Amino acid sequence: MTNLLIALISFLLIVAVVQFVRVSELLSKVNKEDVNEITEKDNKTQGILMLVVGSLFLLSVVWQIIYWGPLALPAASSEHGLLIDGLMSFTMWLIIIVFFILHPIMFWYSYKYSGKDKGVAFFYTHNNKLELIWTVVPAIVLTAVILYGLSTWDKITNDIPQESQIIEVYSEQFAWTARLSGEDNILGNSDFRLVTAENHLGINMEDELSQDDIIVGEVHIVVNKPVLLKFRSRDVIHSAFLPHFRVQMNCVPGMVTQFGFTPTQTTAEMKVQEENEDFEFVLLCNKICGSGHYNMQMNFVVETQEEYDAWVSGQKTLGAQ
């Protein structure tokens, strides 16, 4: 209702403004002025507006960084995530500095060089030396950014420890299911043609390796122990997004994708740190997948080895069912 009122009032305001302008146009016609010629006065006004609005804009950016910056995700709760946070910090600082150098220059020039009837512009066509400088300097800076970025990416995607706990995350419209690989740390074979009402994930029950697998609706993992998530999809592309761990990987029907990480904080620790009793590490879907895309949730619980052992002993393996 409020939106409708705002829209209506704004519309009427616009109509009022338009009528006002039409009247002023007619008046100028009467006075034989060229109503749409850009005058020195216009230039002065617009130049001042550039400076004022520009400054307010820059101030608003500072305000947003101060007030909304803290709403960003807390520091990463995974090893590689902390590397990402470092790279993010570095790059953010870089772009914020560049932003706050270039914008004042632009707004200032717009104000300072606003056109005067007697003004003369400076006929300056090119300067190859300048072009060289501001090609080479960004190139050097960007080389540093690229190298830093690529080394981080390499660490994230290539350094997968042998002892990583393998967990399958299965996505579908509109839910997640997980499968622990059990004692042997190997997931049993699966195939979409084996899916039945009882065998939702299409696991090959003839496969020995499947016997110790465990299907769960909430994933528990041990703090400081590496895990390797393997993703499958039942129907369309989904994306497994675990923002607190800085993990994201598409789940693509027809292939298995993966992402490995090591959690560094337990859920209990996070509840304290975030001052939020209800905090959970969540898994969200982050690739448009249909009407329920906004509501695919699964919790990841990070706990100590003892807590994990207690939890897993209460779960039934596939073989035992």
Site size for other proteins (CB under 8 A): 122
Nearest to 230 by CA among 156, 157, 170: 170
Residue 25 is a binding residue for other proteins (CB under 8 A): yes
* Residue 247 near residue 258, CB atoms below 8 Å: no
Nearer to other proteins, 4 or 320 (CB): 4
Which residues, numbered 243-282, are part of the site for other proteins (CB under 8 A)? 243-244, 246-250, 252-255, 257, 278, 282
Nearer to other proteins, 27 or 310 (CB): 27
Residue 7 is a binding residue for other proteins (CB under 8 A): yes
Which residues, numbered 159-218, are part of the site for other proteins (CB under 8 A)? 172-173, 191-193, 195, 197, 202
At its nearest, how many Å lie between other proteins and the CB of residue 161? 16
Using alpha carbons, list the distances in angstroms from residue 131 to 128, 135, 141: 5, 6, 16
* Residue 261 near residue 245, CB atoms below 8 Å: yes
Q: Which of 285, 298, 302, 318 is in the footprint of other proteins by CB under 8 A?
A: 285
Nearer to other proteins, 265 or 308 (CB): 265
Nearest to 216 by CA among 300, 281, 320: 300
Round to whole Å and give the CA distance between 318 and 321.
Answer: 5
Using alpha carbons, list the distances in angstroms from residue 42 to 47, 115, 237: 8, 9, 54
* Options 135-143, 163-171, 301-309, 311-319: segment touching other proteins (CB under 8 A): 135-143
Using alpha carbons, list the distances in angstroms from residue 184 to 69, 104, 165, 218: 44, 61, 10, 20
Nearer to other proteins, 182 or 229 (CB): 229
Q: Which of 75, 208, 294, 305 is in the footprint of other proteins by CB under 8 A?
A: 294
